[in-house]
A and B are shown apart, each in its own frame.
Chain A
Amino acid sequence: MKIPVPGLAPEVPLSLPVPVERTLPNGLRVLLTRRPGVPLAEVRLSIPAAHTDLAAADLLASTLFSGTESASMTDIARRLQSVGGALGAGADPDRIAVSGNSLATGLPELLETLGDILKAAEYPDAPFEVERSRIIDGLSVAEQQPDFQVGRVLDARLWGDHPYGHQQPTAAEVAGVERAAVLALHASRIHPAGARLVIVGDIDPDATFAAVEKALGDWNGAGEPRTMEPLPALVTGPLVLVDRPGSVQSAIRVAYPAVERVHPDNAAQHLTNLVFGGYFTSRLVMNLRETKGYGYSPRSRVDHSPAGSSQLAAVDVATEVTALALAEVRAELRGMADNPPAAEELDLARRYALGSIKLATATQAGVANYISVLASAGLELSWLAEHSERLREVTTADIQRVAAEELDPDRAVTVVLGDGALIRDSLAELGEIAAQ
């Protein structure tokens, strides 16, 4: 006899913390959120960096903590470690970002250290040369990874001359960056105007603001603000085949258009993506993984970036089923409009979407990440509550309409990386191929 699956208890409403927002006279926007739980603090700093030299920005991020006039790299690392802290930095086409965490009691010390670096990083020669070599060494390894290889080709194919078309510098570009270029980049771009500091944790917002003011109030300088131009529209074309001799899998990537977060169709797009391939119970995973066993993690996602949005379906499959798998990905894309989800399939995705927002905002790190990501799109954390309400209103007709507009394989961009000698002929049966 079957035992019925228990239902759910009454839904617990989404409860989002409300960040305390203040702006320092130097322009730094500060968002502070008390979120008790573990006695820690999470820190996210984002500095706009459109149209910086990519390789120089990477080097700046890797050597930001290498020393100031009064502290060596080791001194800085010790100071952070003593409060259970760590800071790291990274760069992408839109921003230079610093993120880290420490014991909550050590947050003032972490902020002082951060302030010293932002105001007086020296990029000393010796660590600079070490980091430049390390980035080049790391690139040589990354360039052997299928995901990195196919991602680089896909970015170039999708975005061409837009800065998003080249998001990973080459070894030669990194090798050509001198210390003077990084010092110049710091002088022109590492400024509080337009920058945003997010702190979430077991903190008192007033005391923390005082600590921020003390550590970063005299961070200054005038930059040259540059804005990122919007992404161009996707231009379809023949499948791009990237040859990777000896590859035992093929990396299939299919990109298709998306609307931005603030577009009226965004909620429908969110659910369309889930039903298609955005969660385990999606059509793509059930077909390619659970029925056919072609791949371990077929998936799709919506990418919202400051310059624009796009969607991507991805799966790595055994070489011998490459064309079969790509045909299935295309059929599932087309199927979203031809065979739209019934109410039950849509409701399942909707409940998942609503729950995911609760899960993603249940931790200090999650709240810090969400505040930061939304702020980069000009949105507040409370947007998640508004989005949740819009998710509740999406109908199957909305899904069908959005799918017809976006999930059309004939208008998508496809890149496949694999052993060309083994997969070219079968892929050619699906349509025209452009060799990379």
Chain B
Amino acid sequence: MTVATIPAPAFAIERFRLANGLRVVLAPDPGAPVVGVAVVYDVGMRSEPEGRTGFAHLFEHMMFQGSHNVGKAEHMRHVQSAGGTFNGSTHIDYTDYFNLLPSNGLELALFLEADRMRGPAITEENLANQVSVVKEEIRVNVLNRPYGGFPWIKLPPVMFDTFANSHDGYGAFDDLDAATVDDARSFFDAYYPASNAVLSVAGDFDLAQARDLVERHFGNVEARPAPVHPSFEEPDLTDERRLSYTDERATLPAVAAAWRVPDPVTELDAFLPYVVLGELLTDGDASRLVERLVHGDRSATAVAAHCTFMSEPFASRGPTVMLVQAFLPPGTAVDAVLGTVDEELARVASGVDEEELDRVKARVAAQLLRGDDSVMGRSRRLATAEIFHGDAAMSTRFAGLLGEVTAESVAQAAAALTPRRRAVLEVVPGGAQ
């Protein structure tokens, strides 16, 4: 079997920094008459204060409630009036705001992002409204469905000890109710200076004109010092930790196991083999764990392995994990499945052949390229590469870097995933069997 060579995307990337510290990434590509505009702030759920779980996400909602020159709901109205779409999303280590518009809306999007970079217009009334909206979001995604928050909310407190790493980033209702306008002001002051953000534009635009527009709209955003990011480091586990809970709406047993992995930024070379390992274990019917657990033993009905809780290996800092999660046929014992996972990890640790590794890498590369199909996805990935890896162009290099991962390093990564170092979360089905 011949394995495809891995192509690289072909668009130019220009980077510069404004006097106020805002980092700017421009990636022109006239392929389709649309532009993606993303602003990523280097703050996520890990930075929210104790007693204010869910605040980073609530604050993201408040960034849509108006700013100096934009009224409540007008951001959405302006973008949609230009034929565009928008959204924001809050992650463990960053928060992003993104817009996709026909290319004649570029200046409008830059204006809107610059306006709220100077500060959202938060009132008691719109804060109370968005606390209510966020609670409904949590009810839809966590409380009113089976496996809500499994494992991304439920596993960190088993794995980690500090508030930063272990708390529920969607937020406890008490904490959301306690949030004040002053909290929002403090959060903005601490984490939303221009110097803590990256602006990224991808798609159909003229480079020189875009440079001018960026300077015009963002150049006079106040210069403020960027926050110093504290280390969130914690010691690795030396003994297995386990937690089991009953989910009344679950019908199948489920299990997630997590192991600490090298830092995705400061130890990138050591981290990448784990990304390849995750694909080798569970990407498609030819992968190790799908073949063994789903089709061989029939001890799992679905299995997935990936790095970082939100499966974004190139937009995360440490400490973080590699996860293996599985849903099991009714009545299947979690321990038997964990034992099989251990066996398969040992088999990988004893050696991986190059042909298997090459086709796994080909699929990973295609998936990364697919993320660049949309200029919105592209602008977001460029911005997070700039935030986490100090260079937006890294987003075009990850496929190549994964291609250089050796069989030996993947085997070593598998060997490091020992039972003593893992945290295990088990869901006991309480629903109708």
State whether A352 and B83 are in contact (beta carbons under 8 Å apart), knowing that A12-B102, A40-B369, A359-B102 are contacts in the complex. yes
For B244, the chain A residues whose CB sits under 8 A away are: none
Q: Does the CB pair A2–B69 fall under 8 Å?
A: yes
Give the number of residues in A that approach B within 8 Å (Cβ atoms). 86
Q: How far is the CA of A359 from the CA of B375 in the complex (A)?
A: 10
- B70's partner among A5, A12, A76, A295 (CB-CB below 8 A) is A5
A133 to chain B, nearest CB (A): 6
Q: Do A11 and B366 touch across chains, with their CB atoms under 8 A apart?
A: no
Q: Does A20 have its Cβ within 8 Å of any Cβ on chain B? A: no
A74→B298 CA distance, assembly (Å): 16
Restricting to A236-272, which residues have a CB under 8 Å from any CB of B? 246-249
Q: Is A105's CB within 8 Å of the partner chain B?
A: yes
B352 in the interface (beta carbon within 8 A): no
Q: Are B144 and A316 in contact (CB under 8 A)?
A: yes
Tell me whether A351 and B83 are in contact (CB under 8 A): yes
The winner among B80, B135, B295, B358 for most chain A CB atoms within 10 A is: B80
Answer whether residue B84 sits at the interface, using C-beta atoms and an 8 A cutoff.
yes
Which listed segment binds B: A23-31, A78-86, A158-166, A407-415?
A78-86
Residue of A nearest to B82 (CB): A8
Residues of A within 8 A of B432 (CB): 140, 143-144
A38 and B10 CA atoms in complex are apart in Å by: 8
| A152 beta carbon closer than 8 Å to chain B | no
The listed residue with most A CB atoms (<10 A of its CB), out of B9, B144, B367, B432, is B144
In the complex, the answer to whether B365 meets A363 with C-beta atoms within 8 Å is no
Chain B residues whose CB sits within 8 angstroms of the CB of A8 once the complex forms: 82, 104-105, 107-108
A9 in the interface (beta carbon within 8 A) = yes
Tell me if B373 counts as interface (CB < 8 A to partner A).
Answer: yes
- From residue A290, how far is it (CB to closest CB) to chain B in Å? 5
Q: Contact string, A283-322, partner B, CB cutoff 8 A, digits 1/0? A: 0001001111111110000000000000000001110000
* Given A144-B250, A296-B133, residue A12 in contact with residue B111 (CB < 8 A): no
Which residue of A5, A40, A84, A144 contacts B78 across the interface (Cβ within 8 Å)? A5
Binding site for B on A (CB under 8 A): 2-15, 36-40, 65, 73-74, 76-86, 101-103, 105-106, 126-127, 130, 133-134, 137-138, 140-141, 143-146, 246-249, 279-281, 286, 289-297, 316-318, 348, 351-356, 358-359, 361-366
28 sample A-B contacts, Cβ–Cβ < 8 Å, listed by A number:
A3-B69, A6-B108, A6-B111, A9-B107, A13-B33, A37-B29, A73-B295, A76-B285, A81-B362, A84-B366, A84-B367, A86-B284, A105-B4, A133-B301, A133-B329, A140-B330, A141-B146, A247-B144, A248-B144, A281-B73, A290-B129, A292-B129, A293-B128, A316-B144, A317-B136, A354-B83, A355-B82, A361-B32
B residues with a Cβ closer than 8 A to A are 1-7, 9, 29, 31-34, 68-70, 72-73, 76-78, 80-86, 100-108, 111-112, 115, 128-137, 139-140, 143-147, 204, 248-252, 283-287, 291, 294-295, 298, 301-302, 327, 329-330, 358-360, 362-363, 365-367, 369-370, 372-375, 431-433
